[in-house]
Amino acid sequence: MFYVKKLEHEIVLQPIHFGPKLKATIIRLLKEEVEGLALATYGYVVNVIEVPEDEIRSGIIEYDTGDVVFFVKYTALLLRPFVNEVLDATVSQCNQLGFFAFVGPLRIFVSKHSMPEDMFNGFDGERDAWVSDDKEVVITSGCGVRLKIKGRTIEQGNIAAIGTIKDNYLGLIDDGSGEVGEQ
């Protein structure tokens, strides 16, 4: 799920930024550009942990614009969900097709076909909730669920997944009241 990796990024600076705090400016711009970005091959950049000053290479001048391109190596904390990984998520929205849940920046959709059989026809439109046949399990916005990732997509700038709660030990774990439910 979370891992640390060394990455490289290209920073383009205009001459107005040149001065005694050039390296601090490069590090600030690097964090602004990459934190919160979903990289197609690595996942979501949660945080830039370290930018060693010796890993900021000398800049290359672009003759057309006068801008300078710096290649920077940095260490980042990344979020990348794996298929069949079990996660605890917070439900954000329920509709008649299923519900959406978030684990940090990761948006997960759980279809009604990926819920236990006793919840398949249990959507309550008045409360915007999924209710089991015995009325013991109520999944609504703000509650916590334990789910398994069945598929994921990481595109440039976006990260999403498909999940299921149709397995042992998965489903409602927190009804949103602050008390942990039984499993």
How many CB atoms neighbour CB 155 within 10 A?
Answer: 10
Closest CA relative to residue 56, chosen from 38, 16, 29: 29
Indicate if the alpha-carbon torsion angle 121, 123, 129, 134 is positive or negative: negative
Distance of alpha carbon 102 from alpha carbon 60, whole angstroms = 41
| Nearest partner of 58 among 7, 11, 5, judged by Cα | 11
Q: How far apart are CA 173 and CA 169, in angstroms?
A: 9
For residue 29, how many C-alpha atoms fall within 13 Å in the half-sphere facing its CB?
A: 18
Give pLDDT tens digits along the chain (183 positions): 889 999 999 999 988 888 888 889 999 999 999 998 888 788 889 999 999 988 888 889 988 888 999 999 999 999 888 999 999 999 999 999 999 999 988 899 999 999 999 998 889 888 899 999 998 899 999 999 999 999 988 776 788 899 999 999 999 998 877 655 454
pLDDT attached to residue 183: 47
* Residue 179, pLDDT score: 59
C-alpha distances in angstroms, 182 versus 14, 68, 143, 153? 58, 58, 14, 32
Point out which residues pair with 7 in neighbouring strands.
74
3-class secondary structure, 25: helix
The predicted model scores a pTM of: 0.78
